[in-house]
């Protein structure tokens, strides 16, 4: 009867109880009684890979049908069976000789079905038996065997001692094994200790430590308890060795694991401690240094908090994170800006005056204004709202160098920033940090360069500021310059208010016309007029020559500078006439920048001769000028100019300080069309139309046949190639040239004029008188006609120029014609037979030939006429032309 219920028990208690019941049942099976011969006859249970020892209870798995039958029957009859080990476990139907001779009589329990289809039964070993023979083999084997009683072992005598020693050894070794092998329960040792029979002890231990099958089988076959014990000693020693080795390996592995864990733990602790002390790994250390740097420098609270916050952010990041660089740069910017560093102002007016005089000739108005500024500052040092000065004048008139001198006088740092071509607001105010490669704007970049919070900050070319879709830099600049706002200037990158109120801003411009009104409003304009020849000579002698001689290494060591008074023995001196020639024929400018360059060139030529130990001139003569500087760049216009019909001289204002400009008119057979060429703007075209209408209306008074207007085409040309020109101030000049062309009266060669004309011939005032008059003077004109309402502007014109020019104020065109035109009509100049006028201005002809010469930035090179000075910021339309604008108003 099969019952597998206990096997299926989930509940442990129930399982334990069932097992207990089964074992008891097993114990109750009596040993088979001996027959008369002392044998027992029992069914055989062949065993393949298990060994059952006496006293031991263990389950066996039964597969073979015969065995099942044998067990079932034995169980049913409450009889024992004999367990025999097969020599070859693989054999299915072993015969007598296939079994080992020693087996075990054992009680069997009921068969239980296993989940894999096999069966199992609990068995209990009783005693060793020696196989005698088989009584039957079918349906299962029944054998006769002889039980072998376990011989008692005495502990007396020599042999007894030996046995005791062996038992102890066995127990010690077993204890060791139990200690080392976690799968062996402690109770096993206690159990072993209490076994008195050495044979049983041996069997029990072998069952417990489960050596290889052959060892177990071999041990079963040993009948002598002593022998068995000895054998067990060997097995235990082997087992203990293996276990010790295992244990060693295990503890090594464990200690390795422990060491790694320990190191990890210690490292973590170390990190925590270092972090606490600020001495972590290089990255952490760097961050701690950074933090203490931030805490060490004097920053406004807001900036400090921000910087520390950014450091905190860095600490959360791995050092390789791409954001690290961005944040570092930001922090560096905060640290590098001069938030509080300032120089102390030297507000000694006398000292300032000396410095300004020492480096600058003339410029009385500018100097005076600066000294006033310093005086007020010395009286009211706390007053931070200073007016912004704007130096306006042509290039090379000393605006920048004066700024530099002011900085020196005040003891402030000097920095410059050119605004020419700045179109993007971000250039002033920076890009937000979200942009890749964002940086602060140029204002803060320059302040960082200055290293102080109160430098003298020169904003050059404020008139060349551009505006486009990227924003209006002027409005950003307004915030920079406005004393009401600039104490907390906000840069997009920095996102922290920066105090610009202590900075002394000076702006420079060539003209006020293009300065945005809002900006101009906040600035105090100081004009830097161009220089007349005498001033240029003086500046050359006093400043430019000494400087250039020194640059060229022509000043002997120990000499401060070469004085200009003829007493400088053996030193290089420029003759007055030579300088004059350089001014007239090699430079054509309002300032002295080209002059300085030409002087420098001449000095270098001399320096080369000196360095090559060749004879070198100590007095530079006019002839040497040509030798050193090549052929003249500008011709003396006075010599070649002549009275002509249909050509009048306009004086125009340019950013470079004023120009004279011929207006040519040609009459051709035609139908009264008017053609105007020479890059003329709308205003000038209209001005020409007005002049023509006026002329037509006055034809009779001017002795011109009104019918002629129907038979000719009029071509007005204002040369100077591709330079755009505009403005109404050529009105009276065009009109004069028209009258000349139609009437045959020549225009005086040395009269220059400027003025707007109305249809009724009234002459209206125009701008730029000072530059225009100076240009006329420079060009050697003798007479200048200006609108009478412009007379007030003459005050700015240097006295010498005023006294050497005949300046005629006019109110009406008739007056202009009276002064500018010859009264008589030239015979061959019949208006009905207009002829081609020849090029009247050789200088212009030459310029045309050089028309392709590239324009150079700001300072025209000496090889190029000084008037080809580029001016960034002119109207978009004119971008492709040389960047010069001529405005005639």
Instruction: For residues 357 and 354, give the distance between their C-alpha atoms in angstroms, rounded to a whole number.
Output: 5
The residue among 763, 589, 734, 602 whose CA lies nearest residue 674 is: 734
Query: Structure tokens of 90?
Result: 């693989």
Options 374-382, 589-597, 686-694, 816-824: segment touching ligand ADP (CB under 6 A): 589-597
Residue 83's DSSP bridge partners are: 45, 104
Q: Which is nearer to ligand ADP, 71 or 526 (CB)?
A: 526
Instruction: For residues 278 and 296, give the distance between their C-alpha atoms in angstroms, rounded to a whole number.
Output: 15
User: How many Cα neighbours within 13 Å face the side chain of 695?
Assistant: 28
Q: Which is nearer to ligand ADP, 200 or 457 (CB)?
A: 457
Q: Out of 46, 54, 125, 396, which residue is the one contacting ligand ADP (CB under 6 A)?
A: 396
Q: Which is nearer to ligand ADP, 361 or 487 (CB)?
A: 361
- What residues have CB less than 8 Å from 183, skipping those under 6 apart? none
Q: Which is nearer to ligand ADP, 399 or 413 (CB)?
A: 399
- Least distance CB 394 / ligand ADP (angstroms): 7
Residue 462 binds ligand ADP (CB under 6 A): no
Options 146-154, 158-166, 369-377, 398-406: segment touching ligand ADP (CB under 6 A): 398-406
Residue 466 binds ligand ADP (CB under 6 A): no
- Least distance CB 561 / ligand ADP (angstroms): 13
Query: Structure tokens of 463?
Result: 């008139």
Instruction: Please give the residues from 728 up to 767 whose contact with ligand ADP meets the rule CB under 6 A.
Output: none
- Least distance CB 864 / ligand ADP (angstroms): 17
Instruction: For residues 94 and 106, give the distance between their C-alpha atoms in angstroms, rounded to a whole number.
Output: 20
Instruction: For residues 445 and 442, give the distance between their C-alpha atoms in angstroms, rounded to a whole number.
Output: 5
Nearest residue to the partner ligand ADP, using Cβ: 398
Q: Which is nearer to ligand ADP, 323 or 357 (CB)?
A: 357
Query: Structure tokens of 444?
Result: 């803060």
DSSP structural state of residue 544 = I
Residue 398 binds ligand ADP (CB under 6 A): yes
- Please name the residue ranges forming H helices in 194-224: 198-209, 213-221
Q: Is the previous residue joined to 139 through a cis bond, with omega within 30 degrees of 0?
A: yes
- Least distance CB 657 / ligand ADP (angstroms): 11
Q: Which is nearer to ligand ADP, 219 or 458 (CB)?
A: 458
Q: Which is nearer to ligand ADP, 310 or 463 (CB)?
A: 463
Q: Out of 136, 401, 673, 703, which residue is the one contacting ligand ADP (CB under 6 A)?
A: 401
Options 151-159, 220-228, 389-397, 484-492: segment touching ligand ADP (CB under 6 A): 389-397
Q: Out of 431, 584, 593, 867, which residue is the one contacting ligand ADP (CB under 6 A)?
A: 593
- Least distance CB 458 / ligand ADP (angstroms): 9
Instruction: For residues 18 and 76, give the distance between their C-alpha atoms in angstroms, rounded to a whole number.
Output: 19
Q: Out of 146, 360, 522, 762, which residue is the one contacting ligand ADP (CB under 6 A)?
A: 360
Residue 128 binds ligand ADP (CB under 6 A): no
Q: Out of 400, 568, 689, 822, which residue is the one contacting ligand ADP (CB under 6 A)?
A: 400
Helix (H, G, I), strand (E, B) or coil at 137: coil
Q: Out of 119, 166, 207, 397, which residue is the one contacting ligand ADP (CB under 6 A)?
A: 397
Helix (H, G, I), strand (E, B) or coil at 568: coil
Q: Out of 142, 178, 314, 363, which residue is the one contacting ligand ADP (CB under 6 A)?
A: 363
Q: Which is nearer to ligand ADP, 590 or 660 (CB)?
A: 590
- Least distance CB 404 / ligand ADP (angstroms): 8
Residue recorded with tokens 């000076």: 506
Residue 596 binds ligand ADP (CB under 6 A): yes
Q: Out of 59, 362, 600, 809, which residue is the one contacting ligand ADP (CB under 6 A)?
A: 362
Options 149-157, 430-438, 592-600, 840-848: segment touching ligand ADP (CB under 6 A): 592-600
- The length of the chain, given as a count of residues: 889
Instruction: For residues 793 and 795, give the distance between their C-alpha atoms in angstroms, rounded to a whole number.
Output: 5
Q: Which is nearer to ligand ADP, 306 or 399 (CB)?
A: 399
Longest pairwise C-alpha distance within the chain: 184
Options 64-72, 248-256, 587-595, 659-667: segment touching ligand ADP (CB under 6 A): 587-595
- Least distance CB 779 / ligand ADP (angstroms): 21
Residue recorded with tokens 């410059």: 416
φ and ψ at 520, to 5 degrees?
-60, -35
Q: Which is nearer to ligand ADP, 31 or 400 (CB)?
A: 400
Q: Which is nearer to ligand ADP, 189 or 531 (CB)?
A: 531
How many amino acids of this chain bind ligand ADP (CB under 6 A)?
18
Instruction: For residues 25 and 761, give the distance between their C-alpha atoms in angstroms, rounded to a whole number.
Output: 148
Q: Out of 180, 590, 592, 718, which residue is the one contacting ligand ADP (CB under 6 A)?
A: 592
Q: Which is nearer to ligand ADP, 129 or 599 (CB)?
A: 599
Instruction: Please give the residues from 541 up to 570 whose contact with ligand ADP meets the rule CB under 6 A.
Output: 543
Residue 418 binds ligand ADP (CB under 6 A): no
Residue recorded with tokens 């060229």: 552
DSSP structural state of residue 342 = -
φ and ψ at 259, to 5 degrees?
-65, -45
Instruction: With beta carbons less than 8 A apart as the criterion, state whether 13 and 106 touch.
Output: no
- Least distance CB 524 / ligand ADP (angstroms): 17
Q: Spell out a b/e string for 242-269, using b for 16 or more CB atoms within 10 Å of the CB, else e.
A: ebeeebeeeeeeeeeeeeeeeeeeeeee
Instruction: Please give the residues from 476 up to 535 whose contact with ligand ADP meets the rule CB under 6 A.
Output: 508
Residue 463 binds ligand ADP (CB under 6 A): no
Q: Out of 109, 147, 395, 473, which residue is the one contacting ligand ADP (CB under 6 A)?
A: 395
Residue 464 binds ligand ADP (CB under 6 A): no
Residue 870 binds ligand ADP (CB under 6 A): no
Instruction: With beta carbons less than 8 A apart as the criterion, state whether 736 and 820 touch.
Output: yes
Angle, helix 225-277 to helix 157-180, in steps of 10 degrees: 30
Q: Give me the active site residues, please.
A: 729, 772
- Least distance CB 526 / ligand ADP (angstroms): 12
- Least distance CB 470 / ligand ADP (angstroms): 28
349-356 long-range Cβ contacts below 8 angstroms, 24+ apart? 349/374, 349/375, 349/378, 351/409, 352/406, 352/409, 352/410, 355/405, 355/408, 355/409, 356/402, 356/405, 356/406, 356/409
Question: Radius of gyration (Cα) for the chain, nearest Å?
Answer: 60
- Least distance CB 393 / ligand ADP (angstroms): 6
Residue 460's DSSP bridge partners are: 418
* Contact flags string 824-853 toward ligand ADP, x per CB under 6 A: ------------------------------
Instruction: For residues 658 and 766, give the distance between their C-alpha atoms in angstroms, rounded to a whole number.
Output: 13
Q: 659: part of which helix (H) or strand (E)?
A: strand 659-669
Q: Which phi-psi region, left, alpha or beta, contains residue 558 (left: φ > 0; alpha: ψ -120 to 50)?
A: left
3-state secondary structure 756-803: EECCCCEEECCCCHHHHHHHHHHCCCCEEEEEHHHHHHHHHCCHHHHH
Instruction: With beta carbons less than 8 A apart as the criterion, state whether 728 and 687 touch.
Output: yes
Options 52-60, 361-369, 553-561, 871-879: segment touching ligand ADP (CB under 6 A): 361-369
Q: Which is nearer to ligand ADP, 591 or 719 (CB)?
A: 591
- Least distance CB 774 / ligand ADP (angstroms): 14
- Least distance CB 468 / ligand ADP (angstroms): 26
- In the complex, which residues of this chain contact ligand ADP (CB under 6 A)? 360-363, 395-401, 508, 539, 543, 591-593, 596
């Amino acid at each position: 009867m099969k019952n597998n219920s206990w096997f299926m028990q989930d509940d442990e208690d129930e399982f334990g109880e069932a097992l207990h019941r089964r074992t008891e049942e097993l114990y109750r099976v009596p040993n088979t009684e001996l027959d008369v011969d002392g044998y027992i006859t029992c069914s055989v249970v062949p065993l393949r890979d298990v060994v059952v020892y006496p006293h031991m209870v263990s389950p066996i798995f039964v597969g073979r049908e015969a065995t099942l039958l044998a067990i079932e029957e034995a169980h049913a009859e409450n009889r024992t069976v004999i367990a025999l080990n097969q020599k070859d476990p693989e054999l299915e139907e072993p015969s007598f000789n296939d079994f080992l001779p020693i087996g075990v009589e054992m009680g069997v329990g009921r068969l239980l079905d296993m989940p894999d289809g096999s069966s199992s039964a609990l068995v209990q070993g009783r005693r060793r038996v020696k196989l005698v023979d088989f009584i039957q083999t079918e349906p299962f084997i029944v054998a006769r065997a002889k039980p072998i009683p376990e011989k008692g072992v005495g502990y007396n005598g020599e042999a007894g001692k030996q046995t005791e020693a062996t038992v102890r050894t066995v127990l010690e070794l077993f204890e060791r094994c139990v200690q080392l092998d976690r799968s062996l329960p402690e109770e096993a040792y206690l159990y072993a200790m209490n076994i008195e029979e050495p044979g049983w002890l041996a069997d029990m231990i072998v069952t417990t430590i489960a050596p290889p099958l052959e060892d177990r089988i071999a041990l079963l076959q040993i009948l002598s308890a002593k022998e068995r014990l000895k054998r067990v000693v060997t097995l235990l020693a082997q087992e203990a060795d293996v276990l010790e080795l295992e244990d060693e390996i295990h503890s090594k592995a464990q200690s390795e694991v422990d060491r790694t864990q320990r190191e990890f733990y210690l490292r973590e602790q170390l990190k925590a401690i270092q972090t606490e002390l600020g001495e972590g790994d290089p990255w952490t250390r760097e961050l701690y240094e950074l933090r203490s740097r931030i805490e060490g420098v004097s920053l406004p609270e807001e900036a400090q908090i921000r910087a520390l916050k950014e450091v905190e952010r860095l600490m959360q990041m791995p050092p390789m994170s791409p954001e690290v660089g961005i944040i570092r740069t930001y922090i560096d910017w905060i640290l590098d800006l001069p938030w509080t560093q300032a120089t102390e102002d030297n507000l000694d007016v006398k000292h300032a005056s000396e410095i300004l005089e020492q480096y600058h000739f003339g410029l009385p108005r500018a100097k005076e204004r600066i000294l006033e500024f310093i005086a007020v500052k010395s009286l009211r040092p706390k007053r931070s709202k200073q007016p912004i000065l704007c130096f306006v004048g042509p290039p090379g008139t000393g605006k920048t160098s004066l700024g530099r001198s002011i900085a020196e006088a005040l003891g402030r740092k000097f920095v410059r920033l050119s605004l020419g071509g700045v179109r993007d607001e971000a250039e002033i105010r920076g890009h937000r940090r979200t942009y890749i490669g964002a940086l602060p704007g140029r204002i803060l970049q320059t302040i960082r360069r200055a290293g102080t919070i109160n430098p003298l900050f020169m904003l050059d070319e404020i008139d060349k500021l551009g505006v486009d879709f990227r924003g209006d830099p002027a409005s950003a600049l307004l915030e920079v310059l406005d004393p009401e706002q600039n104490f907390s200037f906000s840069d997009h990158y920095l996102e922290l208010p920066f105090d610009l109120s202590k900075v002394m801003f000076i702006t420079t411009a060539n003209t006020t016309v293009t300065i945005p009104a809002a900006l101009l409003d906040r600035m105090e304009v100081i004009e830097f007029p161009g220089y007349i020849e005498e001033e240029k000579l003086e500046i050359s002698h006093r400043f430019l020559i000494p400087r250039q001689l020194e640059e060229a290494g022509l000043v002997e060591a120990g000499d401060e500078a070469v004085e200009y008074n003829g007493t400088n023995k053996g030193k290089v001196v420029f003759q007055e006439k030579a300088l004059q020639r350089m001014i007239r024929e090699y430079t054509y400018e309002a300032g002295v920048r080209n002059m300085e360059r030409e002087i420098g060139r001449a000095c270098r030529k001399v320096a080369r001769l000196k360095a090559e130990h060749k004879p070198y001139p100590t007095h530079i003569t006019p002839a040497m000028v040509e030798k050193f500087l090549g052929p003249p760049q500008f011709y003396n216009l006075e010599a070649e100019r002549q009275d002509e019909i249909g050509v009048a001289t306009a004086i125009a204002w340019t950013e470079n300080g004023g120009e004279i400009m011929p207006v040519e008119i040609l009459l051709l057979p035609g139908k009264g069309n008017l053609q105007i060429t020479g890059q003329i703007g709308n205003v000038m075209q209209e001005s020409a139309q007005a002049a023509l209408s006026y002329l037509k209306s006055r034809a009779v008074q001017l002795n011109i046949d009104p019918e002629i207007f129907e038979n000719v085409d009029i071509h007005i040309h204002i040369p100077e190639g591709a330079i755009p020109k505009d403005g109404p101030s050529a009105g009276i000049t065009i009109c004069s040239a028209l009258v000349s062309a139609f009437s045959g009266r020549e225009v005086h060669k040395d009269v220059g004029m400027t003025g707007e004309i109305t249809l009724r011939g009234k002459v209206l005032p125009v701008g730029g008188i000072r530059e225009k008059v100076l240009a006329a003077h420079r060009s050697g004109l003798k007479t200048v006609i200006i609108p009478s309402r412009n007379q007030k502007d003459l005050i700015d014109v240097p006295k010498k120029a005023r006294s050497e020019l005949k300046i005629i104020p006019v109110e009406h065109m008739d007056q202009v014609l009276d002064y500018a035109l010859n009264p008589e009509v030239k015979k061959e100049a019949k208006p009905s037979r207009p002829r081609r006028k020849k090029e009247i201005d050789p200088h212009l002809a030459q310029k045309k030939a050089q028309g392709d010469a590239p324009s150079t930035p700001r300072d025209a090179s000496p090889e190029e006429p000084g008037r080809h000075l580029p001016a960034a910021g002119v109207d978009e339309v004119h971008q492709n032309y040389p960047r010069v604008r001529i405005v005639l108003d």
